[in-house]
Amino acid sequence: MHDCIFCKIIDGDIPSAKIYEDEHVYAFMDIMPLTKGHTLIIPKNHKENVYDLSSEEAGQLFSVAPKIANVLKETFHPAGMNLLQNNGAPAGQSVFHFHMHFIPRYDQTDGLKLTWNTK
C-alpha cells in the first residue's frame, strides 16, 4: 500500500499551510520549523528522492525556487537562506517523498548550526 504523508498533503487529506502551488509542484510550511518560515517544496508526482527525479521534474522544482525564496524573503525578512535536500536515511531523509527545504536564516540569532563554513 502506498502510504506517503506528503502525497496525502497534496491530495488535501492532511492539512498544510500552502505557500505555492502549480500543476507540477507544491510548497508548504514545515510542521516543525527549524527557523521562522521553514518551507518545503515537493513534486506532485510521488518520487522518493533525487535519484528518481526526471530532469524535467528537477527543472519544474528548481524553476520556482527563486519565487518561493522571494516570497519567504519578503514575508519574514531573513538575513540569509539555506536550500537543503536530504537523500536516504543516513543523510537525514525522514519523509521518502522528494522535498527541498527552504530555511530562512536570521544572522547568528536563529540558534541553528547548519553550515559547512567553520570560520
Of residues 14-43, those binding ligand 5GP (CB under 6 A): 14, 16, 28-32, 40
Q: Does position 79 bind ligand 5GP by CB under 6 A?
A: no
Nearest CA to 35 out of 68, 85, 82, 3 is that of: 82
Can you name the residues that pair with 99 across neighbouring β-strands? none
Catalytic site residue from 24, 38, 46, 99: 99
* Beta carbon of residue 33, minimum distance to Zn ion (angstroms, whole number): 21
Q: Does position 6 bind Zn ion by CB under 5 A?
A: yes
Cα–Cα dist 112/101, whole Å: 14
Rg of the Cα atoms in the chain: 14
Write out the H or E segment, with its range, that includes residue 74: helix 65-76
Would you tell me which residues interact with ligand 5GP (CB under 6 A)? 5, 14, 16, 28-32, 40, 86, 92-95
Would you tell me which residues interact with Zn ion (CB under 5 A)? 4, 6-7, 46, 97
